[in-house]
Structures are given as structure tokens and as C-alpha cells.
Amino acid sequence: MKTTITVGLGSCGIAAGANKTYQSIENWLGNHPGDISLEKTSCIGMCFNEPLVEIKDDSGAYLYGNVDEKSAQEILEQHIAKKAPLLDRLVKSDVTETKGDSFFAGQERIVLRNCGLIDPEKLEDYEARQGYKAIQKIANESISSEQVIQEVLDAGLRGRGGGGFPTGMKWKFAASYKSDTKYLICNADEGDPGAFMDRSVLEGDPHSVIEGMIIAAYAIGANQGYIYCRAEYPLAIKRLNTALAQAREKGYLGKNILGIKGFNFDMVLKEGAGAFVCGEETALMASIEGQRGMPRKRPPFPAESGLWQEPSNINNVETFASIAWIINNGGAKYAENGTEKSKGTKVFALAGKIKNSGLVEVPMGVTLNDIIFELGGGILDDKEFKAVQLGGPSGGCIPASLGDTIVDYDSLMATGAIMGSGGMVIMDETSCMVDVAKYFLQFTQNESCGKCTFCRIGTKRMLEILERITNGEGVDGDIEKLEELAAQIKDSSLCGLGQTAPNPVLATLRYFRHEYEAHIYDKKCPAKVCKPLITYTVDEEKCIGCTACARKCPTNAISGERKGPHFVDQEACIQCGACYTACKFDAILRD
């Protein structure tokens, strides 16, 4: 068997130094000729172990993590030259039980089925893994557009962009409107700062999205497609353009695709400016038209009058990436995963205070604790799990006490959170929930398009109240004002951004009201995050008078004799924490 070395070159790997690792391996191979190929792939999901290097040889497949330039040389000398794999450096192997195996054991990879396993810039790699077999099946077996839609309905696939509307039903509506021009759009403008799965799929398996769109176009009768991707993702854009050119050359895009008479479909890539509001489908379509990205009133819905007032359908990356698998394996097979109302799998981006940050794909119906503690490896530094913020900036914070909540649309909504695009930000005991709510509301307030008064002004007023509370200036009645404003914004905003913007505040009030009350009435931040509410003092019994704290204080607020106890002038203290960090004897108290 030919030895193959594969380096993960997704954005996460590149940020961790994978390009240098690749170059180091290439240089070593130049000095050690042999029957060895050096390949590239994208993110496999184990972002916490990047850069990743896999070696396949006669004895099996070995995945090494955290491989920099220097360790790459060591691994090659041992594994390749001496044929002695470094078992203690492995994160996953198909011959030994290693720590990485548990990361994949609980996953069901449909959307991510090819990510990290193929070179995304090689069409033949995608084709070797059932790529374009689904659209060929439709052509060879003369499967009708109605049958395709029914298969998607049988799968129970709901839109993975956040709303969770049944995909097959959406296609059925779009198919029912007749027009010489009909548009199909992929929303790849991932607006959630905590979620990066769309970008990773586009970087790691762009053809799966393209094939899904071709099938959708056939089902609804679309003849023109758009992939709307934010310009800040240059690697995704590069690989998408490469994949589109390959698909055209192979006849998967163009006129009479695969001999299906009258099936003419092509698509272009539209680069967006990264506005969060363009995650809303009518705002996205306005942006494609060259207008400012602002939501439109509905009805009419896009299926009737969408892009340039023509019938249009829009789904997101994860939804389209599921389609070919469903056609190849059957809707019933897909529906075997999940719960009664939420079928299939869901990709989550794990971030925050978690050991195994990265991408996971799980069957609907697993619990939050399963994801966080089994796949995610638990909380960083083994601290106490406090909450998980789910659903992006417009999502809600679910407390640790509800960790057994199952992952499906209805169960998550009952907690005050939403599925969203799959961002999952884990928080520990050091997180201040008032500060967390302020952070997410600040994001949505900045991203408001300004069309609705309640969204534009209401979120601003809510943010001002949260800023006062975290600055120690909260007053009696602030909580009630937040709740009143939140209700008005949810009821009166035009689009989903405004309607869900208050969610982080409402969820934290629901489960962590005592933290708001501590900030307002006790002028204390229980998590010791909000600086104006922190007091630094010196424990005289522990202080040895080393003067380290005084030397680091930027305002000279600390005084005392050398080898004697020191003191903090509270009026001069700016709560920067420099003294707390400088003290090696735990003599600085933070309250």
C-alpha cells in the first residue's frame, strides 16, 4: 500500500500553523524519496487539535494532533523512516484505542461525511465517495421532481438555518408557482459569530452543497442559482469557485444536465458584506439585487415573489449538504435518526469554555450533556459547567440544571433558546450572565438594519440598561423595564433578527435573575467579571510586603512598607486587576 500523508488545511488548521507544517513535511519528503504522496484536506472537526496530520500505510491510519514544524520532522523520522508510529502522540487511530475515538463515536456524520476525508479541490475525490451519484440516480431512473420532493418530505428534513421550516414543504410551495425564470439561493452568509459550520462545509466539501442545489433546482424547476457567501471567507470562496468550474466542465451544471431534457441550471457565487441581517432571506435577496440588505414584508413569500419578484427558494449550506445523502439512501433512512418532529442530524460548533472545541454532528435527540461532556470532553480546567448559549446571538442561555434537555427544535424552544445555525457557546462558573446577555445584545443591536423602530431603538434602550447594570449603576425597576421592552420588540419587529434579539436577556433573566439582582441591589458581580463591581483588598496575614502588587498598579493605589502589609486606596483603584495577577501569595482578595 502506498503511504499517504494528509494535512488538514481548513481555516482553523491554517490559523494554527498548518501551512508551515505542510511545508515542513514537503521539505522532508524532498530529502527522503519514496513511494509517498502528500495530500491536502480540510477541517475534520477536531479544531482543538490543529494542525492535524494523518498518515496511512500498510498498518493502518494514524491521526496526529498539534503537529508543528518541529514535531512534524520527529513524527516523519519515527513513523516513516523507522516504521514506528508514535502512539503517545496520536489523537485517533484505527488500530489502537486513543483519546480521539470518543470524539467521533457519538457522531452520525451526514453533512460532514466527506469533511477531512477528501481534497475539496479535487472533483474525483468527491465522486469517489458517492459524489454526484444522487443526481445521476435521478437522471438514470427518470425520477420525477414530485418524487424528489416527496423523498425530502419523507426524510423529515427541516431547514437548518434556524427557522426549522420543513424543507420538502418549502420546495413544494416553490414548485407550485410557474415562471420562465425561477431562482434557487444558498444562504452561506453565516451570521453567527459562534458558529462556523457553514464555512467549514464549504471549505471541506463544496461539491455536496452544489449537488444538493442541483437536485433542489430540478425539484422546484429553478434555472438560476446563487450561493451567497460572506467575503470574509476567502478560502471558502476560492474552493467554491474551483468546484463550480469543475462541475460545469463535467456537465453537472449547464444545459440539459446529464441528459435531462429541459433541465438547464447554473449558479454563481455572490459575495456578501457580512451583515447579520442578511441571514434573513428577504434581506439576503435584496442584497443580491444590489440593494441595502433589509427585510421585506411577507406575504408575498419568496416562493411566489422573491428575487427580482420571481418565484424563489432559499435554504442554507447544511440543508443542501444533506440532500444528496437523502436521495442516495432514502428519506426513510434519514428519518431513522432523530425524534418525532426533528429528524436527521445537526451540526454544532462547540466554542467557549470547553476542552474539545470544534465541529460535531449528532443525531437529533441526544442531550446537551451528551454533546458537552462526551464529545466536547467537558469544561476547560475541569471547572463547573454553568450554562450553554445556543442558537447564536439571538439564542438563549440554558443553565446546567437543564443539561439533560434533548436536542430538537421544540425541546430547545421550550427552554427559551433556539436551534439556530448551531452555535454552542459553553460557559463555566467564571461567566457573568448579565455580561453575556449584554455582549450578545450589543452584537444584534449593532447589526440591526434600522428599518423597525422597536428593533432599532428598543434594543438600544435595552443595551443602555444592561450597561448601567454592569457598571454598578443599576436601579430598582431596571429588570421590569428590560422585560417590557423585550416583549414589545418581539411583538413588533418585522424580521427574525428583531423578534429574537431579546432572547439572551429573557433567558438569563429566567434562569439567572439572582445575578441581575446582585448587580443592581448588592452592587456585586457574583462571577467577578464586571470590573466596576469588583473590590480589591489585601489580606494582611498573607501579604509578605514583596511590593509586586504596588509596582504593577498603574494608579499607585497600593502602598505599604517593604516586608510589611500593603493597603489598597479604594478611591484610586480602577479595578484593573493588575495587582491580583501580580501577587504570587494569594494575598490580594477580589470581591
pLDDT of residue 193: 47
d(CA 448, CA 466): 18
Report residues of the chain scoring pLDDT below 50.
Answer: 193-194
CA-based nearest residue to 65, from 54, 47, 52: 52
pLDDT in tens, 188-230: 976 554 457 889 999 999 999 999 999 999 999 999 999 999 8
91 near 98, Cβ under 8 Å?
Answer: yes
Identify the bridge partners of residue 56 per DSSP, sorted by sequence position: 4, 61
The domain limits of the chain are: 3-100, 123-335, 345-428, 433-522, 535-590
Q: Which three cell numbers stand for residue 380?
A: 476547560
CATH code that applies to domain 433-522: 1.20.1440.230
The topology (CATH level 3) of 3-100 is Glutaredoxin (3.40.30)
Give CATH superfamily name and number for 123-335.
NADH-ubiquinone oxidoreductase 51kDa subunit (3.40.50.11540)
Pick from 107, 138, 373, 369: which is nearest to 252 by CA?
Answer: 138
The proportion of the chain whose per-residue pLDDT surpasses 70, expressed as a percent, equals: 98
What tens digit of pLDDT does each residue of 478-528 get?
Answer: 999 999 999 999 999 998 889 999 999 999 999 999 999 999 999 999 999
Amino acid identity of residue 239, one-letter, is R
- Please choose, from the candidates 62, 60, 69, the residue with its C-alpha nearest in 3D space to the C-alpha of residue 16: 69
Interatomic CA distance for residues 566 and 519, integer angstroms: 28
CA–CA distance, 546 with 433 (Å, rounded to integer): 36
For β-strands 90-93 and 36-41, DSSP reports them as unpaired
Instruction: Give pLDDT, residue 96.
Output: 67
Rounded to an integer, what distance in angstroms lies between the CA atom of residue 393 and that of residue 500?
9
List CB contacts of 188: < 8 A, sequence separation 6 or more.
198, 199, 202, 209, 227, 228, 229, 230, 236, 316, 317
Q: pLDDT by residue (tens digit) across 430-483?
A: 999 999 999 999 999 998 999 999 999 999 999 999 999 999 999 999 999 999
Q: Which helix (H) or strand (E) holds 423?
A: strand 423-428
In CATH, what number does 535-590 get? 3.30.70.20
Q: What dotted CATH number matches 345-428? A: 3.10.20.600
The b/e string for 175-195 (b: 16+ C-beta within 10 A; e otherwise) is bebeeeebbbbbbbbbbbebb
The type of residue at 196 is F
Strands 588-590 and 536-538: antiparallel
Whole-number pLDDT of residue 192: 56
Alpha-carbon dihedral 577, 579, 580, 582, rounded to 10 degrees: 120
Bridge-based pairing of strands 53-57 and 36-41 is unpaired
Calpha distance 200→113 (Å, rounded): 12
